[in-house]
Amino acid sequence: MFIGIIAMRSVAEQARSDEEYMALALEEAALAADRDEVPVGAVLVDCDGTVLTKGRNRREELADPTAHAEMEALRGDSTNSGNWRREDTTLYVTLEPCPMCMGALVLARVRRVVFGATDPKGGAAVSLYELGTDSRLNHQIEVTGGVLAERCSQQLKLFFRELRAQRAVDKK
């Protein structure tokens, strides 16, 4: 019984810290939206809970189709650490990673990916593909989805609603 209480408490503590880091990712997503980028943000955290780096979508700014939030976070930590391996890290991202990003996370050997909103049109963690947990690959990633999902989803919906409204005004 005592072991069960400890396990329950650690699950609750993990959920609480997942929400705290996702809130940081949401802040990065808001910065992306402020620059007219699709609002997706990411935060890479080590096993001690230290934020290693943050990333946000920068595809328009850099004219680079690979400048997704996850890739920016991975690149930022590579620059800082001088190592491409991300063992014992968790990546928090506001939108389910695409195939490119999930592939990079597998190659980087990230231990865990936590995402907010699912991406039914391009998600490669659970929606369309399950790249992180595919046993045919050389590394598997623990995947947790739905953390602050409503906030993440609303941020994206608001961005695209405003974008469509602006395009309608521009056509007039």
Which are the catalytic amino acids? Answer: 70
Q: Strand, helix or coil at 129?
A: coil
The residues with which 114 forms a beta bridge, in sequence order, are 92, 144
Using alpha carbons only, what angle is made at residue 62 by residues 149 and 45, rounded to the nearest 5 degrees? 45
Return the axis-axis angle of helices 69-81 and 99-107, rounded to nearest 10°: 20
Whole-number Å distance between alpha carbons of 36 and 60: 8
The residues with which 89 forms a beta bridge, in sequence order, are 46
